[in-house]
């Protein structure tokens, strides 16, 4: 019943898709400003709403690079009641900085973790004292032009129509996957067959 209702809302999906397409093209054609920085910036994000494994991927990237570069994690801090730039401490409140940034800080206490809804402002404040900034869930933040994009897709998302809201669960168009340098399919079944792996690789190449 819910699926039927979502398909009935398809005209609104077309409107949403058009708005998202226009916004992205404005950034592509530099009609809206997008900033790049001298410091390497790595964005980890997705196109869909919900958990695709961004936090584990962020932790993996940080674990791999923190011994080679002075690294900072920059997040928006979803769910926090505060605004602006904050440095996360191990004793910070999730209400002030958000659950995931606090999780990052407790897992990597020696790493700088910061929250700021404006990623460019956050990078400005961190760049002079760091060598690398990992941005969690910033793929749609087109005001920032990162050095590198890692895009995640949930394995099950390929089993459903990849529509944007409200018919589907995507907040961005599938064509925007082309901005990513690495595409990773997450939450794959442990017993994934070789044939399914080949199919997923072909889908990845199409993206």
* pLDDT value of residue 1: 73
* pLDDT value of residue 74: 98
CA–CA dist 162, 37 (Å, integer): 33
Max mean pLDDT range (40-54, 124-138, 149-163, 190-204): 124-138
pLDDT, one tens digit per residue, over 98-115 is 999 999 999 999 999 999
Asked if the model's pLDDT at residue 201 lies above 60, the reply is: no
Residue found under tokens 């017993």: 191
For residues 72 and 150, the answer to whether their CB atoms sit within 8 Å is no
* pLDDT value of residue 52: 79
Asked if the model's pLDDT at residue 206 lies above 90, the reply is: no
Average pLDDT over residues 51-80: 95
For the chain, which domains are there? 2-206 (3.40.50)
Q: What percent of the chain has pLDDT over 70?
A: 92
For residues 120 and 74, the answer to whether their CB atoms sit within 8 Å is no
**Six-digit token string for 198:** 């080949």
Average pLDDT, the chain: 92
Name the pLDDT band for 136 (thresholds 50, 70, 90). very high
Residue found under tokens 């791999």: 64
Number of neighbours of residue 51 by Cβ within 10 angstroms: 13
Name the pLDDT band for 191 (thresholds 50, 70, 90). confident
* pLDDT value of residue 195: 65
Has this prediction a pTM greater than 0.75? yes
Asked if the model's pLDDT at residue 198 lies above 60, the reply is: no
For residues 151 and 183, the answer to whether their CB atoms sit within 8 Å is yes
């Amino acid at each position: 019943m819910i699926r039927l209702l979502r398909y009935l809302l398809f005209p609104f999906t077309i409107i949403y898709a058009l708005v998202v397409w226009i916004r992205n093209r404005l950034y592509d054609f530099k009609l809206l400003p997008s900033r790049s920085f001298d410091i390497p910036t790595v964005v980890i994000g997705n196109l869909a709403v919900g958990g695709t494994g961004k936090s584990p991927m962020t932790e993996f990237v940080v674990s791999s690079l923190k011994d080679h570069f002075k690294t900072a994690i920059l997040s928006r801090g979803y769910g926090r009641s505060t605004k602006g730039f904050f440095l996360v401490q191990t004793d910070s409140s999730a209400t002030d900085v958000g659950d995931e940034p606090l999780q990052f800080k407790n897992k990597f206490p020696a790493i700088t973790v910061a929250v700021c809804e404006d990623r460019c402002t956050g990078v400005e404040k961190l760049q002079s004292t760091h060598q690398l900034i990992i941005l969690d869930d910033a793929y749609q933040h087109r005001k920032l032009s990162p050095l590198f994009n890692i895009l995640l897709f949930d394995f099950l998302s390929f089993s459903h129509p990849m529509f944007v809201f409200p018919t589907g669960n995507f907040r961005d168009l599938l064509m925007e996957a082309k901005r990513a340098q690495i595409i990773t399919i997450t939450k794959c079944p442990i017993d994934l067959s070789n044939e399914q792996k080949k199919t997923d690789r072909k889908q990845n190449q199409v993206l």
